[in-house]
Structure 1
Amino acid sequence: MSMYFEEITQDTLYIALEIINSNPEYNQLENGNVTRTIDDMEKEFLNSQSTSVFIKLDDTYIGIIDYLLENPKDQTPWLGLLIIHRDYQGYGFGVQAYEIYENEMLDRGLKCIRIGVIKDNHKAHSFWESLGFKYFKKALWKKEIEISCYEKQLEQN
């Protein structure tokens, strides 16, 4: 089985919605609702700031990665979202997708990646720490959601 990324487009937004809505706990933490709308998907994944791609396993859409190559606030790459469809969680696909992403960032010559994890998303804190991310500060996201900021220094092999 091969894993790769495919750009999210207007025509595939409905698939993004299905993946996001398969994770109601995350939606509740992220915006206070267990489901999102197609309009939410358009704002989040079809904007000029971030790169939004599906994680595909052969022909199956199993997740989404959304990232900024350079956050205007700190001139650093930020991984905004890595989410796996509920049906495909627990098989190591998140780790595999992250490794592909990290290798792409290394190929671009980037030295570090930052992420923000919602304070109460305990599974995510453990996941990112297991991948070598180190906590560096607290911040507010969308003016009211407390997040923990992590970063990982990338090493060329």
Structure 2
Amino acid sequence: MPTLTPFPASSERLLYTPVTQENFAELLTVYNSNPDYMEYAYGQRAVTIKEVEADHEENLGYADSFSYCLREASEGLIVGIAQFILCNPRDGHPWLGLIMLHSEHQKKGYAKEFLDQLIHWYRENGYSSLHLGVLEKNAGVVPFYEKYGFQVYEERVTEKLGRVICLSYALTQVYDDIAHKKTGQPAPSRSLSYSSTISTTIFSATPIGGKLRVSLGP
């Protein structure tokens, strides 16, 4: 793993702490507060602590992967989990594997607040893009990522997961925005509708492990 600056410990309203075994019971409530996503990802509307543990171990099976609890700064309560990786061994790109928030803490802007920190961290460590994948069944989150600045660049079909929507974010684009603001000229449009052309090959660049973890809960 390359030498990195430490991931931020906090932002305006959130604390970020590495996931440990002691967190599994609390994280289980986060997982099971999202029954639709559990069904998409696990084929059942509720999971056990064994699935939480297995998910964590699979994610950390890579030397360059991270798993963080998202906590409310005011009380330290775990309200979500995030998983990300520096280099997907299947395509060489950094991937965001998961943002999942407890259903009671969605629509508060926590996902954007975390993304702001993650994007800044990747950028300051010299990365040029960030990728993520969304299952077709969870495609309702795609507009959130597009509004943030991600672009859909491909759809793929997998044997296990079905259709997957792949998005990427150019980590240099913030500087383009600043330059255009200084000159008074509008920044070039980055809106991009995803193609209806679907690859029939097996998904060969899953972000983390053999199971795609879809981002959820802005």
Asked whether the two chains share a fold, i.e. TM above 0.5, the reply is yes
Asked if 1:117 is matched to 2:128, the reply is no
Amino acid corresponding to residue 65 of structure 1 in structure 2? A
Cα contact 2:135–2:161 (8 A) shared by 1: no
Q: For the residues of structure 1 that align with 2:29 and 2:160, how far apart are their CA atoms?
A: 27
| Structure 2 counterpart of 1:31 | 42
Cα contact 2:133–2:167 (8 A) shared by 1: yes
The CA deviation at 1:145 is 3.1
Q: Secondary structure at the match of 1:70?
A: coil
The CA deviation at 1:39 is 1.4
| Structure 2 counterpart of 1:91 | 108
For structure 2, list consecutive stretches of 5 or more residues without a partner in the other structure. Answer: 1-11, 176-218
Q: Secondary structure at the match of 1:42?
A: helix
TM-score, normalization: structure 1?
0.92
Cα RMSD of the aligned pairs, angstroms, is 1.6
Residue correspondence of structure 1 range 74-153 to structure 2 within 5 A:
74-140=91-157, 143-153=160-170
Cα contact 2:152–2:167 (8 A) shared by 1: yes
Q: Secondary structure at the match of 2:107?
A: coil
Cα contact 1:45–1:51 (8 A) shared by 2: no
Structure with greater contact order relative to length (CA < 8 Å, sep ≥ 6): 2
Pick which of 26-35 and 75-84 moved more.
26-35
Distance 1:84 1:154, change over 3 A: same
Amino acid corresponding to residue 61 of structure 2 in structure 1? S
| Structure 2 counterpart of 1:20 | 31
Q: For the residues of structure 1 that align with 2:105 and 2:158, how far apart are their CA atoms?
A: 28
Cα contact 1:77–1:113 (8 A) shared by 2: yes
| Structure 2 counterpart of 1:54 | 69
Structure showing greater Rg: 2
For structure 1, list consecutive stretches of 5 or more residues without a partner in the other structure. Answer: none
Pick which of 132-141 and 33-42 moved more.
132-141
Distance 1:113 1:142, change over 3 A: farther
Q: For the residues of structure 2 that align with 1:36 and 1:19, how far apart are their CA atoms?
A: 11
Alignment deviations for residues 63-99 of structure 1 (CA, whole Å, 9 cap, x no partner): 1101111100011000010111101111111111111
Q: For the residues of structure 2 that align with 1:129 and 1:92, how far apart are their CA atoms?
A: 15
Aligned length: 157
Cα contact 2:39–2:45 (8 A) shared by 1: yes
Q: Secondary structure at the match of 1:76?
A: coil
Pick which of 6-15 and 138-147 moved more.
138-147
